Amino acid sequence: MNAAALSGLDERQREAAATLRGPVAVLAGAGTGKTRVITHRIAHGVDTGAYSPGRVMALTFTAKAAGEMRGRLRALGVSGVSARTFHATALAQLNFFWPTLAGDTAPSIIDNKVRMLAHASDSIGISLDTPTLRDVASAIEWRKVKMRSIEQYAAGHPNGIGRLSVERVVDLQRAYEKLKDERRQLDFEDVLLACAGMLEAEPHVARSVREQYRHFTVDEFQDVSPLQNRLLELWLGERRDICVVGDASQTIYSFAGADARYLLDFDKTHENAKVVRLETNYRSDAAVLAVANELMKGRPGALHLTAAGDQSSDAVAATTMPTVTAFDDEAGEAREVASRIRAQIANGIDPRAIAVLYRSHAQSVEIAAALAKNGTASSVLGGRKFFDLPEVRQAVLALRGASVAPMQHGFVDTVRDVLRSLGLTNDPPEAGGALRDTWEARASLLRLAEEAPPGTTLRTFTDELVARAKSNDEPSLRTVTLATLHAAKGLEWDHVHLIGFAEGLLPISYATTFDDIDEERRLAYVGITRAARSLALTWARGSRDRQPSRFLKEIGTGTLREGGASRRVAGQSRPESRRTTGAPLRRSER
């Protein structure tokens, strides 16, 4: 074994990284170091000569994850590995082979499915509002990743969409496909479909691709769709060199076609597959993990997480027990959470280490207002990108302009002078809102300058800013993060406040089937496991007389303690309606 690539790994991680020939499935729980295992496994394969970097394909689901993987591989001394999303890989292959096969350039990719649908609806005399068009767009995406025809979709969705009958939904989808063909365009899902079709129809293309890429790694395999899995099979051909990594408990995109069965059944569908379980969590305290384990107890594929460094039953007692607090209304919940966060910051906690998580975007309004009112800066994850902010674009342009003139002061002082000329002050504005957001953005640029390596010049600094903007490598603002549970996946904070832990919010009101509720449970699990040091769950009865989330009852009182400002013990009252409309699940039903 190569000591360099395998050093610093625990026993299970090393087992996974040292197994260089597939098929291999790594069941990696939250915080267990899956990206570390993936990159060290590839590096070990390259170091030992088992892999040629140019023949390795590492597939991810986001460009950001692919960029992170490339960065980690570079740090391990490995370059030349293709780390891309499924779509980027498929698009590159289409663009490469299409001119030879069709004698023309590949079709362009539409940038807005909803706009195209609006044009298609006009062509058949239907006037639709934007929300309905978005729902139809989602239906098209679901149909394609599930590899269903329009007729098969119609058979499974007889009620149509909104006020649209299923017949009109079919008409609109056909008009949409016709319009795309006329314009020689493909949508996002068509890229995968077209690539799969090309590989199936053109044996020489399939041979060429399989000769190029011989070793496959797939991250977040629990999120793979039937279409992505089919494309993966076509890329592999008869080869067995595949390593998949995932966690069934973090399957939160079933509505978009993700199917965790490909991960759960991997050892059944791949003969002699090796399965490695990673259950040592390096992120969270034992008390947080105890809540997560209780929530997922007995679920398919659930892993039992233990805190690194202490496997004893006394580990939970050694850390702060997570809290649950109930409130009469959402405004009171938001005020108290904002007050707690302000106290955390006053006690020396970096705002960047604190997050408020929630199920839906609408819940951010109340908490953002409460934080702004007490002078705490916050930013919504998934909002406008840092380098797209007007004040950041202005600052980068000003810095680039200053870089052509001789510096009168040192590098950092010059950056500070430029930013001051644009309005950066030593102290932030007292109130929250747009002024505070602008100040935080400019202050982040100054921090980047202060953290730059010795010898950095203004020119190299601005070049680095431009490169970071192109690669979506954004600095973190010194603010509290507000995020939906979906957006929070893959991230972590020392201190997490999970609000709205009530029936109708988590699980969401439209989750009515057993599978829907299970998906909501996994969302709650994702939120809980984002916390490293402290976890606070809150809920409010509000005007709708909400009940505490059934998940609180499933977690139980052994791993949670009642927080301050509570008007009742969370979890005492329970809805009397049936399970599909909000009643708590018994263990036997899980």
- The pLDDT tens digits for 485-539 are 999 998 999 999 999 999 989 998 888 889 999 999 999 999 999 999 999 999 9
Question: Which amino acid is located at 380 in the chain?
Answer: V
What is the layout of strands, in order, in the sheet containing 242-246? 82-85, 56-60, 215-218, 242-246, 24-28, 274-278
Residue 428 above 80 pLDDT? no
The pLDDT tens digits of the residues spanning 52-79 come to 999 999 999 888 888 889 989 988 889 8
> What pLDDT is recorded for position 206?
95
Per DSSP, helices labelled H in 471-509 are 485-488
Q: Is the separation of the CB atoms in 11 and 260 below 8 Å?
A: no
Find out whether 488 is annotated in a ligand binding site: no
**Residue 128's pLDDT band (cuts 50, 70, 90):** confident
User: What mean pLDDT comes out for the span 203-213?
Assistant: 94
Range of weakest confidence among 155-169, 311-325, 438-452? 311-325
Out of 145-154, 539-548, 566-575, which region has the weakest mean confidence (pLDDT)?
566-575
Quote the pLDDT of residue 314. 60
Q: pLDDT digits over 148-187, tens only?
A: 999 999 998 888 888 889 999 999 999 999 999 999 999 9
Identify the pLDDT of residue 572.
38
The response to whether 33 counts as a known ligand-binding position is: yes
Q: Is 456 annotated for ligand binding?
A: no
pLDDT at residue 261 greater than cutoff 60: yes
Tell whether 34 is in a known binding site: yes
Rg (CA), the chain: 26
545 pLDDT more than 60:
yes
Tokens of 303: 């892993």
pLDDT at residue 510, as a whole number: 82
Give the span between the Cα atoms of 175 and 173, in whole angstroms. Answer: 5
When comparing pLDDT for 189 and 319, which is higher? Answer: 189
Q: How far apart are CA 434 and CA 545, in angstroms?
A: 34
How far is it, in rounded angstroms, from Cα 415 to Cα 74?
Answer: 29
- Torsion-angle region of residue 375: left (phi > 0), alpha (psi -120 to 50) or beta? left
Number of H helices, E strands in the chain: 24, 17
Sign of CA dihedral 338, 340, 343, 344: negative
pLDDT of residue 553: 87
Q: What is the pLDDT of residue 577?
A: 28
Select the more confidently predicted residue: 4 or 319.
Answer: 4
User: What is the Cα 287 distance to its own chain's centre?
Assistant: 24
Per-residue pLDDT at 471? 66
Please tell me the predicted confidence (pLDDT) of residue 431. Answer: 54
Average pLDDT of the chain is 87
Residues 6+ away with beta carbon under 8 Å from 395: 418, 419, 422, 441, 442, 445
Q: Is 96 helix (H, G, I), strand (E, B) or coil?
A: helix
Q: Is 504 annotated as a binding residue?
A: no
On whether the CB atoms of residues 286 and 315 are closer than 8 A, the answer is yes
323 is in an annotated binding site: no
Q: Classify residue 459 as exposed, middle or buried by CB count within 10 Å of its CB (0-12, 13-18, 19+).
A: middle
Name the pLDDT band for 308 (thresholds 50, 70, 90): confident
Checking if the pLDDT of 456 tops 50, the result is yes
